[in-house]
Amino acid sequence: MAIHPIEFRYGSFEMKRVWGEEYRLEKMLMVEVALARAESELGMIPDYAADRIEQGARGVRLNRVKEIEDEIHHDMMAVVTALSEECGEAGKWVHFGATSNDILDTATALQFKETISILTPQLQKLQNLLVKRALEHKATVCAGRTHGQIGVPTTYGLRFAIWASEIERHAKRLEELTPRITVGKMSGAVGTQAAFGKNGIEVEELTMKHLEIKPAEVSNQVIQRDRHSEFIFWTANLATTLDKIGIEIRTLQRSEIGEVEENFTKKQVGSSTMPHKRNPIKSEQICGLARIIRGMIEPELLNNTLWDERDLTNSSSERIIFPETCILTDHILRTATRVLENLKFHHEKIEQNLELLRGLNMGEAVMIELAKKGVGRQKAHEIVRDSANIAREKNLHIREALLKNPTIQKHLTKEEIKQITNPHNYIGTAIQKVEKLAEKLQNHPKPIS
């Protein structure tokens, strides 16, 4: 019986596979094999044992591991026992010198390595899409808003460029933190490597070499959780950017704004009782799941505050934190990409909202022009503010109110005022900014693989 929505509603098969029981067991067995191989090369166990352990690992089955765990109530020892059963005489050398978390934490590093290899191309795909949208809409002038109120004009291209730049920073952060989280260890019960004797450092280095990851410089019985916390912080940061994008789309799809719209298929149902509804459900899903991802920060931080050389309080929470965070982050990343790929634009509404205030949003442009004419910035601000108040009170276009002011009449002609209050003439360097960012990101792409 499926209970958690991840089982049937959220997440890609690709990411769920990485955090599934079978894959987890596969990685633990991979670490056991790498350990045996390293110990064999150092003459600590017979050569035949390493070969036999590698062969035996192929025969271990999850159901057998679970049967053993039901009897002994220790998950790692259940794996060791199941592997030993498959190795015959060599079984006595399985897990030689290791403690549970040598295997568990190193297996987790391998899972994170695979997770990052899935997230990286998805980030690049979203970044590329945002750059594409930025260039497509670099001259799509729209109402800018601050405090939820219409301000001076901006462009949709600039909005997309800002998001693309943010995604690029997330990709860089992920690249930077990858070496810190994809580390394994063979440090033993308290970190001294005593069970490995004089070969402890070599065992650890060789094991990690076989697994193609780096060893932690130093650790106790566990890899310190500041590493994992950094990654969970990263997922929360990315989720918040996607949340922001989702909120913006939801806002712009409001009936009274209506500038953009999520794709709505022919047979899609918006409401069980209101047949006309077209709800931004995918963006809402992104925003909702972002809350769950952000909520993982505090418990993962607390997983670094273990007693002495370790306790077990991190184990139970991480069984939830790691898979849920990775699966949901991957899910909303893919969902955001699909939403933006199919986003519909209503240009007539964009233009309508741009003119909604009847030119009041162009007050800054008039103020700047008056200042250039010698009126002075503060005086110009006062004149335009007074004209804006008159326009509001008398329901006039700002141009009509401006033309009633003697100072403005002295410095600006009717035609000049018309040009100044045209929102399409007041987007500054928005187009250049988009083109500059697009050139940077397109000339220095990360490979999608």
Reported as a single tens digit per residue, the pLDDT across 121-172 is 999 999 999 999 999 999 999 999 999 999 999 999 999 999 999 999 999 9
pLDDT (0 to 100) of residue 247: 98
Question: How would residue 274 be classed by pLDDT, with cut points 50, 70 and 90?
Answer: confident
pLDDT (0 to 100) of residue 267: 85
Q: Is the pLDDT of residue 94 over 50?
A: yes
pLDDT (0 to 100) of residue 272: 79
Q: Is the pLDDT of residue 233 over 70?
A: yes
Q: What is the pLDDT of residues 234-270, one digit of tens each?
A: 999 999 999 999 999 999 999 999 999 998 888 888 8
Nearest to 362, CA basis, from 155, 141, 153: 153
Spatial separation of the C-alpha atoms in residues 185 and 222, rounded to whole Å: 8
Q: Is the pLDDT of residue 290 over 50?
A: yes
Which class is domain 5-264+275-351?
mainly alpha
Spatial separation of the C-alpha atoms in residues 417 and 384, rounded to whole Å: 12
Q: Are 84 and 96 in contact (CB under 8 A)?
A: no
Which residues on neighbouring strands pair with residue 361, listed in sequence order? none
Q: Are 185 and 106 in contact (CB under 8 A)?
A: yes
In the chain, what percentage of residues exceed pLDDT 90? 94
Catalytic residue among 4, 74, 117, 271: 271
| 271 is annotated as an active-site residue | yes
Structure-token pair, residue 332: 């909303």
Question: How would residue 448 be classed by pLDDT, with cut points 50, 70 and 90?
Answer: very low
Of the listed ranges 122-126, 276-280, 424-428, the least confidently predicted one is 276-280
Q: Is the pLDDT of residue 433 over 50?
A: yes
Which residues on neighbouring strands pair with residue 142, listed in sequence order? 154
Spatial separation of the C-alpha atoms in residues 81 and 87, rounded to whole Å: 10
pLDDT (0 to 100) of residue 449: 41
Give the chain's mean pLDDT. Answer: 95
pLDDT (0 to 100) of residue 446: 57
In the chain, what percentage of residues exceed pLDDT 70? 99
Q: Is the pLDDT of residue 271 over 80?
A: no
pLDDT (0 to 100) of residue 201: 97
Catalytic residue among 147, 255, 276, 449: 147
pTM: 0.94
| 170 is annotated as an active-site residue | no
Q: What is the pLDDT of residues 12-48, one digit of tens each?
A: 999 999 999 999 999 999 999 999 999 999 999 999 9
Q: Is the pLDDT of residue 447 over 70?
A: no
Question: How would residue 275 be classed by pLDDT, with cut points 50, 70 and 90?
Answer: confident
